[in-house]
Amino acid sequence: MSERCRLSWWRGDGGEGARRNLGLIGVLVVLILIGIATRPDLYGDSGWVWNNILTILKLASVVGVVTVGMTFVIIGGGIDLSVGAIVALAGVWCTTLATQGYGAGGMIFTALVVGLCVGLVNGLLVSYGRLVPFIATLAMMVAARGLAAQISGKQTQVSDNAAINGIASTDLLGIPLLVYILATVVVAGWVLLNRTTFGRRTVAVGGNPEAARLAGIDVRRHTVLLYGLSGLCCGIAAVMLTAQATSAQAEMANLYELDAIAAAIIGGTLLSGGRGTIVGSLLGVVIFSTITNLFAINGLSTEAQNMVKGGIIVAAVLVQQFQFRSLAQFLSRNRLSTG
Amino acid sequence: MTQHSRDLSRRRLLFGGAALGAGALLAGCTSNEAAPTAAQTKAAEAAAGGNSAPGKKVTVGFSAPAANHGWIAAITANAKAQAGVYSDVEFTSVEAGADAAAQRAALSTLLAQKPDVIVVLPHDGKELNAFGLEAMKAGVPVVNLDRAFPDARAYRLQIKGDNYGMGVAAATYIAEQLKAKGVSTPIIGEIPGVDSLELTQERSKGFADTLASYGFKVANRRPAAFTADSGQQAATGLLQALPKIDAVWNHDDDQGIGVLAAVNQTGRKEFFMVGGAGSKKAMEDILADKTVLKATVTYSPSMASSAISLARLIGQGRGMSDLVELQVPKEIVLASETITKENASNYLKLGF
């Protein structure tokens, strides 16, 4: 009983989710051990190790922010294929010469508003236009990249703003600003999902929209907000990525939608909605960037790296299905015995 | 109820107003007006009697893939600008669309208009080989720009850059610099572009072959995707993998923006870097000499300007005036040149 009480603080993420997250941390440990075994010379230097951890987190930061938004959309029963395109559009829009004329504040404002607006349009198409999320966001993916190419004139737009570029090179107390931004978004996402009615509604809408509607939730409006949230996350990510690359172009953030969906899935988010955790998604992103790092420090080809990533996604989903099926069997058996 | 609905409508009004305002503000932010870069053209020389003297009217049809990269954008811009220089050239351009099939369709339309010469940068030389044959059979000479047709009967003129030579030029510069510094076992990093492309493989092969002739090799190779953000990520991985580096070759100056950003973000300065392609920004960086970028090896989009000039000569049945032959040669491969601080100012006008 006391065990349950202690766990209850974690309940939002708790129980099965917590166990799964422990499993993901186990995977992470294994990856790091492989790193130590293959490059003992590098791992012998503690300064390098600390620096490497920060590099992995920096690498994870942009996709991480996108994944938080994606996790909300998927838990709410949708999917957002347009996130990479929104990042590119917001990045391009905020680095036009006209926008750069307004300074760092204007650029950040532009990126966030563009992201939010495109997300809201996605939401309106899905909820009021009754388009299947896959189709609506697929269309947006193509259209947003098209608009980004149109605005940028297909050129790489260099950011000359020192404050924006500084976002990627500034450290506070030895930790990069990008990592703080990721942490802030993750904590905000966790609170929003687990400690607010918005979060509860998201789970309800994704789990069973009809039941949610009968319970008095405005499902359509909530769906619009979910896609808006995802778009807003893309806007934040666009600022971060623009700062990292000190430039933006229509082809940037290529295939981020797949990275974000994959991270959410291996983090335990159910693709059909109604279940998922922010912590799991974060771990998913960190695992992917650790794999990228592992392949880089060993000088291995990126083809092999993509195959390993694919394998991990399949393994995670298999584990998820297995757990889910055994849980369902357990429940049905219980019901039989009581009924 | 009425109170509620009035609240709602006021809220809607406020939201709508805010949305409209933000929309108007943002729409104003899409402007990208800047001084247009002077295209890389060769002005028609005043000297009378030369090839630049107006001759027979020539219609040149042109097709290149939609630009998603500064280099391709420069190709199209250069072709157009060079055609504009000649009073006797009429230039018609067709959009190549998204893939080889779309380009084939566009080119068929172009061929139906019976231009005197067709200049084409194919999506894929192999896939558009059949079109080259068809056009040549119909009596329209085809100038292939950069991506070769496998069949020699499919083109009248082939003009292209030298990918293998780029690797050779980059490796030669790096090896000579290291030799001058007395580094005997250098750590050399490489950041190629999209690794599955043949051009990337040729560049890497030229680089590795030439390094080997000096007894050097590539320590680590992290491919990017010709975009700045992918360059930043690849470079971050490379820097993390190699705590000490002597030299880096980055294949592409567009992705190089991100590579340089990553170098600056980590504060590494112990090595020098060579770029590729020859963008204007890279040349400016080399001239300013404030970054690790010390040189770039060209793969110049000025070849599009030359292709138009040569297409005009082919259409008029004239040869290149400095050569003995009465007709334009069949194949021209541009040399990859090495741009350093010393000569960058000469090349600045060729930067894209």
Q: What is the CATH number of domain B58-161+301-318?
A: 3.40.50.2300
In a domain, A220, yes or no: yes
CB contact under 8 A, A293 and B69: no
**What is the rounded CA–CA span in Å between residue A219 and residue A126?**
11
- State residue A3's pLDDT score: 45
The angle, 0 to 180 degrees and rounded to 10, between the axes of the packed helices A177-195 and A278-297 is 150
pLDDT of residue A7: 44
> Quick one: average pLDDT of B127-148?
92
Which value does ipTM take for this structure? 0.84
CATH of B163-298, one of 3.40.1390.10, 1.10.468.10, 3.90.660.10, 3.40.50.2300: 3.40.50.2300
Tell me which residue of A118, A102, A135, A74 sits closest to A234, measured CA to CA.
Answer: A118
**Min Cα–Cα distance to chain B from A15, Å:** 36
pLDDT single digits (tens) A56-95: 999 999 999 999 999 999 999 999 999 999 999 999 999 9
- CB of B261 within 8 Å of any CB in chain A? yes
The C-alpha atoms of residue A249 and residue A230 are separated, in whole angstroms, by 21
The amino acid present at B207, given as its one-letter code, is F
* A331 in any annotated domain: no
CATH number, domain at A24? 1.10.3470
Q: Is position A337 within any domain? A: no
When scoring A53, A244, A294, A301 by the number of chain B Cβ atoms within 10 A, the one with the most, hence best to mutate, is A244
Cβ <8 Å between A96 and B29:
yes
Burial group, residue B349, by CB count within 10 angstroms (0-12, 13-18, 19+): middle
> Global pTM?
0.84
- In DSSP notation, A24-64 reads HHHHHHHHHHHHHHH-HHHHT-HHHHHHHHHHHHHHHHHHH
**C-alpha of B31 from chain center:** 24
Residue A332 lies in a domain: no
Whether the predicted pLDDT of B16 surpasses 80 = no
Judge whether A273 lies within some domain. yes
**Inter-chain contact B26–A45, Cβ cutoff 8 Å?**
no
* Residue A338 within any structural domain of the chain: no
Q: Provide the 3-class DSSP secondary structure of residue B190.
A: strand
Nearest by CB: B30 against A42, A96, A297: A96
Could you read off the pLDDT of B226-256 as tens digits, one per residue? 999 999 999 999 999 999 999 999 999 999 9
From the list A51, A244, A297, the residue facing B261 with the nearest CB is A244
User: What does the alpha-carbon distance between residue B253 and residue A246 come to, in Å, rounded to a whole number?
Assistant: 14
Smallest CA–CA separation between B223 and chain A, in Å?
A: 7
Does the pLDDT at position B133 exceed 90?
yes
Within a domain: residue A79? yes
CB proximity list for A98: less than 8 A, separation 6 or greater = B28, B29, B30, B31, B32, B33
Q: How far apart are CA A284 and CA A268, in angstroms?
A: 9
CA distance B298 to B277: 4
Judging contacts by C-beta atoms under 8 Å, the chain B residues touching residue A303 are 195
> What is the nearest CA distance from A143 to chain B, expressed in angstroms?
14
Contacts of A225 (CB under 8 A, 6+ apart): A123, A198
- Asked if the domains B58-161+301-318 and B163-298 are classified in one and the same CATH topology, the answer is yes
CA distance B70 to chain A (A): 5
> Which is more confident, B260 or A322?
B260
The predicted structure's pLDDT at residue B5: 55
Q: Compute the distance between CA of residue B41 and CA of residue B302 in angstroms, rounded to an integer.
A: 7
Q: Which domain holds residue A322?
A: 15-326
Which of B32, B238, B281 lies nearest to residue A96, judging by beta carbons? B32
Cβ-Cβ contacts under 8 Å between A and B: the total is: 135
How many structural domains is chain A composed of?
Answer: 1
Q: Are B237 and A292 in contact (CB under 8 A)?
A: yes
Which of the residues in chain A have pLDDT under 70? 1-16, 324-325, 327, 331, 334-339
Helix or strand or coil: residue A248?
strand
- What residue in B sits closest to A148 (Cα-Cα)? B30
The verdict on a CB contact (< 8 Å) between A251 and B31 is no
Compute the nearest-CA separation of A331 from chain B (Å): 45
The domains of chain B are located at 58-161+301-318, 163-298
